[in-house]
Amino acid sequence: MLRALLSGLGWRKGIWGCAFSSWQPHQPPAGLSATEVVSHWTVVFEEKGIPEARESSEYIVAHVLGAKTFQSLRPALRTQPLTPWQLQCIQELSSYRLQRMPVQYILGEWDFQGLNLKMAPPVFIPRPETEELVEWVLEEVTQGPRVVGAEGGPLILEVGCGSGAISLSLLSRLPQRVGGGPWSPSLVSEHPASHVPLFLGQSRVTAVDKGEAAICLTHENAQRLRLQDRIQIVPFDVTLVESWAHLLPWGPVDLVVSNPPYVFHRDMENLAPEILRYEDPVALDGGEEGMDIITHILALAPQLLKDSGSIFLEVDPRHPELVGSWLQSQPDLPLNLVAVRRDFRGRPRFLHIRRSGPQRVSPVDAWPGRQPARVPG
- Is the separation of the CB atoms in 257 and 266 below 8 Å? no
At 6 the pLDDT is 38
At 246 the pLDDT is 82
Higher pLDDT, 318 or 199: 318
- Is the separation of the CB atoms in 168 and 225 below 8 Å? yes
Q: Report residue 9's pLDDT band, with 50, 70 and 90 as the boundaries.
A: very low
Mean pLDDT over 106-113 rounds to: 95
Q: What are phi and psi of 118, to 5 degrees?
A: -75, 140
The DSSP annotation for 103-126 comes to: HHHHHEEEEETTEEEE--TTSPPP
Please state, in angstroms and rounded to a whole number, the distance separating the CA atoms of residues 235 and 118.
Answer: 19
Instruction: Give the global pTM.
Output: 0.83
pLDDT tens digit string along 110-164?
A: 999 999 999 999 999 999 999 999 999 999 998 765 555 445 689 999 999 999 9
At 329 the pLDDT is 97
Please state, in angstroms and rounded to a whole number, the distance separating the CA atoms of residues 71 and 157.
Answer: 38
Q: Report residue 26's pLDDT band, with 50, 70 and 90 as the boundaries.
A: confident
Q: In the predicted model, what is the mean pLDDT of the chain?
A: 84
Mean pLDDT over 254-270 rounds to: 98
Please state, in angstroms and rounded to a whole number, the distance separating the CA atoms of residues 224 and 276.
Answer: 29
Higher pLDDT, 50 or 17: 50
Q: Which of 287, 259, 30 is nearest to 133 (CA)?
A: 259
SS3 of residue 163 by DSSP: coil
At 28 the pLDDT is 82
Give 279's DSSP letter: S
Please state, in angstroms and rounded to a whole number, the distance separating the CA atoms of residues 103 and 106.
Answer: 5
| Cα 163 to the center of its chain, rounded Å | 6
| Cα 327 to the center of its chain, rounded Å | 25
Q: Report residue 290's pLDDT band, with 50, 70 and 90 as the boundaries.
A: very high
Distances (CA, A) of 302 to 29, 215, 289, 359: 62, 24, 23, 7
